Amino acid sequence: MQTNMRREIDEIPEAAQRLLERSADQLKAAGSALRAKDPAFLVTIARGSSDHAALFLKYAIELQAGRPVASLGPSLASIYGAKLKLGGAAAIAISQSGKSPDIVAMAQAATDAGAVSIALTNTLPSPISKACTHPLDILAGPEIAVAATKSYVNSIVAGLAVLGEWTGDAALQRAVADLPNQFAKAVKLDWHEFAADLGEAESLYVLGRGPALAIASEAALKFKETSGMHAEAYSAAEVLHGPVALVGAKFPVLTLAARDAAEGSVAEIADGMAEKGAVVHVTSSRAGKAKRLPFVETGHPITDALTLILPFYGFVEAWSRSRGLNPDAPASLKKVTETR
């Protein structure tokens, strides 16, 4: 019997196409607003998978637009009542449900402070859409499984589309427009070899660098959510500053590399851990000792990183079922989490 999670993973290409077609005018308007504002910096407001989407957009914006991006703790507004000086900034708030009180409060505070505020949400109308100057419907469609998949991906697609409009970067715009086709390829990739090598492991590392670090963070969360397995995400560089001490014989490491400037160093670190006896899998053909996982080459370093999440989602859904668990309904979790 097919799970809701598997069905929603398979819907990602269609959901992305729907977003790019039906929200085109709103995406352009948000990009135009950023171009007119010319913000000195940006802030993001999100939690959970949405915060991992925000991390991906942070790297994309810093690489493509040259503006620094910082993540704001929502409790600054909801608990501490802090007044931040955001008049020269733009804010991106991401929330699937659009109604988590602390996310809404921080978004409203950013808008009140004079920031151009963009809401990426799967629910319109919603409190988050009212709190921001540019509410964008990511149009992922109903998502029943507790673990976010297509809403995570569409949040990033929407952000990248806005970024392309803002910067006028033709290469990025073409790459974003082609994402539904690339997703259709990526969703069919099989990472079963990684599952076979996990064996009875109780913990693992997920590594990435740049935009792929955001994918690693999302992957580590999904291990915990769907499979009750301890997983920690690290920058492939940061892991060498201490955490590598835990890596020994048979320790599993999933290394996510995109076709970008960091690929060579990430593959080298993966090989180094493999030499220590760790069971290392990497999405790169530049590794010599780590085992290679299949990936899609999109022709753009930013979208290359994003496609890595699709085969991972497929893998972790199957891995959860193989452990006798239900990935649709993780223990102690519910679909909408409202924090204050």
What domains lie within the chain, and their CATH numbers? 4-186 (3.40.50.10490), 190-323 (3.40.50.10490)
> Could you report the per-residue pLDDT of 62-81, keeping only the tens digit for each?
999 999 999 999 999 888 99
Q: Which of 107, 83, 112, 76 is nearest to 93 (CA)?
A: 107
What would the pLDDT profile of 185-204 be if each residue is shown by its tens digit? 999 999 999 988 887 788 99
Residues with Cβ < 8 Å from 74, sequence gap 6 or more? 45, 47, 100, 102, 103, 105, 106, 339
**Tens digit of pLDDT for each residue in 169-181?**
999 999 999 999 9
Residue 246: predicted pLDDT: 66
> Bigger pLDDT: 129 or 339?
129
Q: Give the pLDDT of residue 336.
A: 55
For 179-209, what is the HEC assignment? HHHHHHHHCCCCCHHHHHHHCCCCEEEEEEC
**pLDDT for residue 237:** 86
SS3 at position 288: coil
pLDDT tens digits, residue range 104-133? 999 999 999 999 999 999 999 999 999 999
Say what the pTM is. Answer: 0.95
Averaged pLDDT, 139-147: 91
> Whole-number mean pLDDT of the chain?
93
Q: Does residue 295 have a pLDDT over 50? A: yes
**Is the pLDDT reported for residue 244 higher than 90?**
no
Spatial contact of 189 and 310, defined as CB atoms under 8 Å apart: yes
Report the pLDDT averaged over residues 30-56: 97
Distance CA 326, CA 340 (A): 29
Q: How confident is the model at residue 239 (pLDDT cuts 50, 70, 90)?
A: confident
pLDDT over 50 (residue 236): yes
Give percent of the chain above pLDDT 90.
81
Q: What is the pLDDT of residue 136?
A: 97
Percent of the chain with pLDDT over 70: 96
What's the pLDDT score for residue 335? 45
pLDDT range class, residue 332, cuts 50, 70, 90: low
Question: How sure is the predictor about 14, in pLDDT bands with cuts at 50, 70 and 90?
Answer: very high
- Write down the pLDDT at residue 23: 95
Hey, which bits of the chain come out as E strands? 41-45, 69-71, 89-95, 116-121, 134-137, 203-208, 230-235, 252-255, 279-282, 291-292
**Whether residue 242 has pLDDT greater than 90:** no
306-323 tens-digit pLDDT: 999 999 999 999 999 999
